[in-house]
């Protein structure tokens, strides 16, 4: 990963925002149309929570509630994992791992500027590979170097506890997991193995 890339360079500046009184089902429908997750819950311009489709499902399933009657405030997660735009992607990666989240709200001055996701962090890690390829190394050689580097890092006993170094991507759901196992020829997380 190119450690000089900042959150500001890769964050998505467009995001779904909702208020606590909005209907949760309508908000999730908007998130699906916009292909965005999570929705940032605002009180005025201040973020007070985040809402994912899973948050709404938990309320509906656990409480046996009619989904059309659930408000965003009833289902939202009140803690808002944030980061400022000048942080590097390595720092964003570490913060996501420490908070066990797939995204961070990028904020400066108390107002949300955008969202950075684990996908943004992982896809930007190819920037260093592309630079190596442009400097004469073949892309295949770059991947071999990256693989040997990450093997060395994991052999060192997870030098950065809680970092992404000891995680991989589930081949079924695409989520980042520390607990991948081979199952029917695929590396799967615990959730996908149970299905």
- Cβ proximity of 28 and 58 under 8 Å: no
Q: Provide the token pair at 146.
A: 């990256």
- Strands (E) in the chain, as ranges, are 16-18, 39-43, 46-51, 82-83, 103-108, 111-117, 168-169, 176-177, 181-183, 186-188
Task: Report d(CA 37, CA 26) in Å as an integer.
Answer: 14
- Cβ proximity of 56 and 76 under 8 Å: no
- Asked whether residue 173 is marked as a ligand-binding residue, the answer is yes
- Asked whether residue 72 is marked as a ligand-binding residue, the answer is no
For residue 178, give the DSSP letter. S
- Asked whether residue 100 is marked as a ligand-binding residue, the answer is no
Task: Report d(CA 9, CA 103) in Å as an integer.
Answer: 15
Please report which helix (H) or strand (E) contains residue 57, including its range: helix 53-63
Q: Taking Cα atoms as reference points, which of 139, 169, 75 lies closest to residue 67? A: 75
- Cβ proximity of 108 and 82 under 8 Å: no
- Asked whether residue 147 is marked as a ligand-binding residue, the answer is no
- Give binding residues for Fe cation as ranges: 170, 173, 189, 192
- Give binding residues as ranges: 170, 173, 189, 192
- Give binding residues for Zn(2+) as ranges: 170, 173, 189, 192
């Amino acid at each position: 990963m190119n450690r000089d890339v900042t959150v500001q360079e890769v964050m998505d500046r467009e995001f779904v925002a909702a208020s606590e009184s909005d209907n949760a089902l309508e908000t999730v429908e908007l998130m699906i149309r916009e292909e965005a997750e999570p929705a940032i819950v605002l009180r005025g311009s201040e973020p007070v929570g985040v809402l994912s489709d899973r948050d709404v499902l938990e309320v509906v399933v656990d409480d046996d509630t009619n989904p059309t009657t659930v408000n965003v405030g009833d289902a939202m997660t009140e803690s808002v994992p944030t980061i400022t735009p000048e942080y590097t992607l390595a720092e964003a990666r570490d913060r996501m791992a420490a908070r066990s989240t797939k995204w961070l709200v990028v904020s400066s001055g108390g107002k949300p500027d955008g969202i950075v996701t684990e996908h943004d962090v992982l896809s930007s890690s190819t920037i260093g590979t592309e630079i190596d390829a442009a400097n004469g190394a073949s892309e295949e050689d770059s991947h071999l170097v990256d693989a040997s580097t990450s093997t060395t890092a994991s052999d060192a006993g997870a030098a950065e506890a809680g970092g992404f170094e000891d995680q991989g991507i589930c081949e079924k759901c695409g989520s980042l997991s520390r607990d991948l196992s081979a199952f029917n020829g695929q590396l799967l997380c615990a959730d996908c193995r149970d299905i």
